[in-house]
């Protein structure tokens, strides 16, 4: 399943959502003043504009808090699990649900006795989704378009499709972005780069099962528990213990030890 562009779960995404969505909500209701929403938000108070403004500012704070928290968790979540489009859409639905629950709670407490909690949640959902749909759609489409433009187009032949031990597709990745693959009991840990970031994905599979596809894409064993990408090896050298190690071209990545059995093959590929 295709993963969303990295810009859609980045600091840029947090800033855009945090700035645009809450401000849009306030301006939409203050300037456009739709009857179906304002009659509920001002609750028929004598100072209707003041009550409407106060409630909108409170709702803006609730929406802002949920948006920022949600997007930070999304960035952390994506470090371990690929964020496919269906998951991203589900995440947005969960954001809207959380906003509706908390705004409904605020309105139910603010006007205690006039609305039951679940009635307030339902009205909050209608108001929030009705006002947020367009800015959400514009932001997501803009980020997706920028992500597609910024990310280099990859030749299909350069893509590696990695499946788990039940033959389910888990990760599609460019061969040249892989740094190394490490065995970890019944799993393999794939270390790779995405732009300037170093990322890691844990796949339930064995080194033996990956051998054919790794060979096809020029990624070779350097010891029993490691595959290394020769195109990412900067130099082969001896460490303090006299062991040969492959030093990679990416900062903050550990050198990988090379066993004598695989040294000749790796050195030929450099």
pLDDT tens track for 171-193: 888 898 999 999 998 999 999 98
Q: What is the 3-state secondary structure (H, E, C) of 11-70?
A: HHHHHHHHHHHHHHHHHHHHHHCCHHHHHHHCCCCCCHHHHHHHHHHHHHHHHHHHHHHH
Token couple for 89: 């859409």
Q: What pLDDT does 192 receive?
A: 92
Percent of the chain with pLDDT over 70: 89
Rounded CA-CA distance 36/34 in Å is 6
Rounded CA-CA distance 206/255 in Å is 22
Q: What pLDDT does 10 receive?
A: 82
DSSP β-bridge partners for residue 184: 187
Rounded CA-CA distance 109/98 in Å is 17
Rounded CA-CA distance 44/224 in Å is 74
Percent of the chain with pLDDT over 90: 24
Contact (Cβ atoms closer than 8 angstroms) between residue 57 and residue 30:
no
Q: What pLDDT does 2 receive?
A: 67
Token couple for 192: 């790779």
DSSP state for residue 167 in the 8-state scheme: S
Q: What is the mean pLDDT of residues 195-224?
A: 90
Q: What is the mean pLDDT of residues 133-157?
A: 72
Per-residue pLDDT reduced to its tens digit, 243-256: 888 888 888 888 88
Q: What angle do the packed helices 48-78 and 85-110 form, to 10 degrees?
A: 150
The top-level CATH class assigned to 156-269 is mainly beta
Q: What is the mean pLDDT of residues 144-149?
A: 69
| Helix, strand, or coil (residue 220) | strand
Rounded CA-CA distance 248/169 in Å is 28
DSSP notation for 60-104: HHHHHHHHHHHHHHHHHHHTTS--BHHHHHHHHHHHHHHHHHHHH
Per-residue pLDDT reduced to its tens digit, 23-67: 888 888 778 777 767 777 765 555 666 777 788 888 889 999 999
* 76-94 per-residue burial string, b: 16 or more CB within 10 A, e: under 16: eebeeebbeeebbeebeee
* 234-252 per-residue burial string, b: 16 or more CB within 10 A, e: under 16: eebeeeeeeebbbebeeee
Report pTM: 0.56
CA-based torsion, 39, 44, 45, 46: positive or negative: positive
Helical ranges in 111-206 per DSSP H: 117-150
Output phi, psi for 128, to 5 deg.
-70, -50
Instruction: Indicate the average pLDDT of the chain.
Output: 84
Per-residue pLDDT reduced to its tens digit, 220-237: 999 989 999 998 998 888
Q: What is the mean pLDDT of residues 75-99?
A: 84
Token couple for 50: 């003041």
In the chain, ranges of CATH 2.40.50.1020 domains: 156-269
């Amino acid at each position: 399943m295709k993963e969303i562009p990295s810009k859609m779960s980045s600091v840029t995404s947090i800033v855009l959502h945090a700035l645009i969505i809450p401000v849009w909500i306030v301006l939409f209701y203050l300037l456009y003043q739709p009857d179906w929403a304002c009659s509920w938000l001002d609750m028929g108070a004598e100072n209707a504009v003041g009550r409407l403004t106060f409630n909108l500012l409170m709702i803006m704070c609730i929406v802002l808090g949920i948006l920022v928290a949600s997007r930070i968790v999304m960035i952390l979540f994506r470090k371990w699990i690929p964020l496919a489009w269906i998951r991203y859409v589900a995440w947005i639905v969960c954001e809207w649900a959380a906003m509706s629950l908390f705004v409904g709670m605020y309105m139910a407490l603010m006007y205690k006795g006039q609305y039951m909690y679940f009635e307030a949640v339902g009205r909050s959902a209608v108001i929030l989704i009705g006002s947020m749909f367009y800015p959400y759609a514009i932001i997501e489409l803009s980020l997706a378009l920028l992500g597609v433009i910024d990310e280099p187009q990859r030749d299909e032949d350069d893509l590696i499709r990695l499946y788990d031990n039940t033959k389910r597709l888990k990760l599609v990745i460019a061969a040249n972005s892989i740094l190394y693959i490490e065995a970890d009991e019944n799993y393999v840990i794939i270390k790779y780069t995405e732009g300037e970031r170093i990322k890691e994905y844990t796949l339930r599979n064995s080194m033996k099962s990956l051998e054919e596809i790794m060979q096809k894409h020029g990624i070779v064993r350097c010891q029993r528990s490691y595959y290394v990408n020769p195109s990412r090896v900067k130099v082969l050298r001896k460490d303090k213990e006299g062991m040969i190690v492959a030093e990679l071209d990416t900062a903050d990545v550990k050198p990988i030890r090379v066993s004598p059995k695989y040294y000749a093959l790796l050195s030929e590929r450099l």
